[in-house]
Chains A and B, each alone.
Chain A
Amino acid sequence: MATHAAHAEHAHAPQAFIWKYVFSKDHKVIGIQYYVTAMLMALVAGLLAMLIRVQLAWPEKDYTWLGKIFPMGYDVGGGFGVMRPEFYAMLFTMHGTIMVFFVLSTAPVSGFGNLLIPLQVGARDMAFPFLNGLSYWTFLPGCLVILASFFVESGAAAGGWTSYPPLSALKGAVPGSGTGQTMWIIGMVFFIASFTMGGLNFVTTILNLRTKGLSMFRLPLTMWAMFLVAILGLLAFPALVAACIMLVFDRHYGTSFFIPAQIALNNVPLLTQAGTPLHQGGSPLLWQHLFWFLGHPEVYILMLPALGFTSDILSTFSRRPIFGYKSMVLAMCGIGFLSFIVWGHHMFVSGMSPYLGMAFAVGTILIAVPSAVKVFNWLATLYRSRIRFTTPMLWAMGVISLFISGGLSGVWLAQAGPDIHLHDTMFVAAHFHLIMAGAALFGVFGATAYWFPKMFGRLMSEPLGKVHFWFTFITYYGTFFPMHYIGIAGHMRRIYDPYQYEFLKPLQPINELITMSALILGASQIIFFVNFFWSAFKGKKAGENPWEANGLEWTTQSPPPHGNWPGEIPEVHRWPYEYSNPDAPRDHVMQHEPAGAAAGH
């Protein structure tokens, strides 16, 4: 029976290179495509960050050499190169946009989601493989449009990753508000369309295609995270689509959804020929509300997969069942729900009613409760366990560390009072780089090392992985921890030359330290790319289950064949966290092993 099934799959797996690896409908290939694309985008966004950091540490230095590489970004007059302020605005805008949407929403969710969902729920493929392939081929044009926007005449979008009007609504506001902003919108529309297609597939696959015996409360926590992330994306992104529709009308057809009457461009009021205001009755605050209604769930779209990966990795390498499985699920659901009612905490300085501000503040602080539940559960899982310090485990512990340090500063920012002082300072940059960007990034690195066998059938190099982890971990804190301090001291978040202000001049040495740390952080990512490509081709061959883990993905070959299991799909008899059960013959019992295995027969 099994061999017969294997034959059937072999016969029907596409053979031509273009159908097998390019326009594939196989979830594993699509997952890897997403992952690799996102990591290449990360390289671009990371390089932008390096330019930002160099500028902040030494704005007075001569950058003639950089001006030769980026002629649009530097004024090179009389043999002395200085960065243009609008180029700096473009750098942080595109760094944020690419990192948030095209890297950290893509690599963990679309990348690992596609790779893992059918493998962990026991399905041959996603529910709708064609839609899945289509979603990648919608995402890629989005990436290309965003990358192409660097090369248009006035440069890429420069209104911040949040694209607040009027910077984004008036074509002449800043140089990037012209074609660059248009391309930003087009890129985002592609991205949202692709994310929606992916999300539909995620939810229906997890709900409807689970294998026999796999009830929702037997799902690995990674699957719960993916399920919630897809729901968050499907509920939150439409708000941004609605906002983008109105923005397009404002920009190209003269409406005034976001533009009030009293607006002036370069000190000239915008008037019609008859002398009446060109725009009337719009409100820039409307954009902020719609954007943050997406924006806040969006940060959990980045975070939740990392929390799921961490739980799975932690349990495997501490050889302990995850502590408080149901409370973990409830905590993630709670975080997901709360994320929809706290968007106003991004807008405390917008002049909202203090009563409304208080409601948003209380809601935000409430998120600390499920977050703390997760942290304590992780610590309880680790407590008195025999930890195997592999690379994925190091990254998982890194996630916990960043989640705690970033979460604590979140409690400061959640309150309207302190936030009015800290708003738009480096303190905010420090906070979200630790918790949202850092934890998500560490989660991706951990997941890469952990599930690499299911991508390429090989293991990543452990020594290289560990060197990469320690360099990244230390320099990540070295880069973002001092930012708290300069933020409290008043260092603005989006300023191309802070030292034009007397009171910021003493902060330059700290900025230099941050920059040196950031440059090492950037350089150490080369180790990862070397490790990734070397291991993909030359790494140690992995068996079916190199980590002695329990999930369904470890019951098939590495990498799994087309159709995922050569024979029948395994049946599930328990949750995936059966480690160190004293009654069992081995220290782990896999999900598909029959009931007798757990009792030690």
Chain B
Amino acid sequence: MHDGGQAAVMEAHWGGGAAPFGATWQKTMMWIFIVTDALLFSGLLCGYAFLRQAAIQPWPKQSEVFSIPFIALMTFILITSSMTMGSAVTAARLGDHKKARTMLAITIFGGLCFLGCQAYEWSHLIHEGARLTGALPGSTLAAEGVPPVFTQAFFVLTGFHGSHVLSGLIILIVTLVRWSMRKTPSQGVEMAGLYWHFVDLVWVFIFTLFYLL
């Protein structure tokens, strides 16, 4: 049993009963990390909700500031990429190497489209006078009565989510390369998938709580 070298010796064997949730430690660790990261977003979202409740100025109508159909398109793209990610995980598990590769590539493409849309949205709003510290005096947004809390919450929430999408993309690209080189087991694809689904789920909350409500 020790012929596998250090890995075999150091790997402790599960023996305490049934593995909790039938998950390996790698997957358990990913899940717990996702919970932690979700709470980070909860902190930011709660902060935003708190300040919005406490705001003296009226909250602007989101449909006047943003183009909601465009945001809905972004949401659609991201959710579709979650679906293709699901197919990639299933294919990887079933050992369909080629399909998993294709699906991963489509997912990455979807993520890139989302980031592109976000960049467009940011530049559009900045052009209209949105700044981190509030609407630029005399700009279109200032005329609409956008309070500083609105823009700062917008940039911090979407920016923080965007950075998560970016790191998700990096993880996916690494996974795709390693998968193509047959260097990662199907669990690697599954864990990258977990993170990607989480990033998408966070967007659903941001979309609902910031753009719609």
**Which A residues have a C-beta under 8 Å from some C-beta of B?**
4-5, 8-9, 12, 118, 121-125, 127-129, 196, 199-201, 203-205, 207-216, 234-235, 237-239, 241-243, 245-246, 249, 253-257, 274, 276, 279-283, 286, 289-290, 293, 563, 569, 571
Contact = CB atoms under 8 A, between A and B. Distances in A.
A209 B29 CA distance: 12
Interface in B152-167: 152, 156, 160
B51 interface: yes
A4 B2 contact: yes
5 contacts: A212-B13, A215-B16, A249-B152, A254-B132, A286-B51
A246 B32 contact: no
Given A196-B36, A215-B16, A256-B149, A129 B137 contact: no
A20 to B, nearest CB: 14
Given A128-B25, A208-B28, A246-B156, 13 more contacts: A124-B12, A127-B25, A199-B32, A210-B16, A215-B16, A238-B40, A242-B44, A245-B156, A249-B152, A281-B51, A282-B149, A290-B46, A293-B43
Contacts of B72: none
A289 B40 contact: no
Contacts of A242: 40-44, 46-47
Nearest to A240: B43
A254 B6 CA distance: 53
B9 A208 contact: no
Contact of A212 (B11, B16, B19): B16
A563 B5 CA distance: 13
Contacts of A246: 44, 47, 156
B133 A235 contact: no
Interface stretch (B54-62, B102-110, B175-183, B190-198): B54-62
B32 A200 contact: yes
B33 to A, nearest CB: 6
A204 B42 CA distance: 23
A24 to B, nearest CB: 13
Contact of A125 (B2, B10, B35, B42): B10
Give the interface centre of B14, B16, B24 by most chain A CB atoms within 10 Å.
B16
A257 B51 contact: yes
A420 B206 CA distance: 38
Contacts of B37: 238
B15 interface: yes
Interface of B: 2, 5-6, 9-17, 19-20, 23-25, 28-29, 32-33, 35-37, 39-44, 46-47, 50-51, 54-57, 132-134, 137, 147-149, 152, 156, 160
A569 B12 contact: yes
A245 B44 CA distance: 9
B77 to A, nearest CB: 26
A290 B10 CA distance: 40
Contact of A208 (B6, B19, B42, B50): B19
A9 B29 contact: no
A191 to B, nearest CB: 15
Contacts of A234: 32, 35-36
Closest 3 CB pairs of A and B: A242-B43, A212-B15, A210-B16
A257 B147 CA distance: 12
B47 A286 contact: yes
Nearest to A289: B50
A220 to B, nearest CB: 14
B50 A283 contact: yes
Nearest to B23: A208
Given A238-B43, A257-B51, A204 B133 contact: no
Given A213-B15, A256-B133, A283 B51 contact: yes
Contacts of A274: 137
B51 A127 contact: no
A281 B149 contact: yes
Contact of A241 (B28, B29, B43, B149): B43
A171 B175 CA distance: 43
A571 B42 CA distance: 42
A555 to B, nearest CB: 15
A129 B149 CA distance: 43
B43 A208 contact: no
B28 A204 contact: yes
Contact of B147 (A12, A280, A563, A569): A280
Contact of B160 (A245, A255, A257): A245
A239 B39 contact: yes
Nearest to A123: B12
B7 to A, nearest CB: 9
Given A204-B25, A255-B148, A281-B147, A238 B39 contact: yes
A3 B29 CA distance: 34
A12 B9 contact: yes
A399 to B, nearest CB: 29
A203 B152 contact: no
Nearest to A13: B6
B51 A211 contact: no
B162 to A, nearest CB: 14
A213 B15 CA distance: 7
A243 B11 CA distance: 38
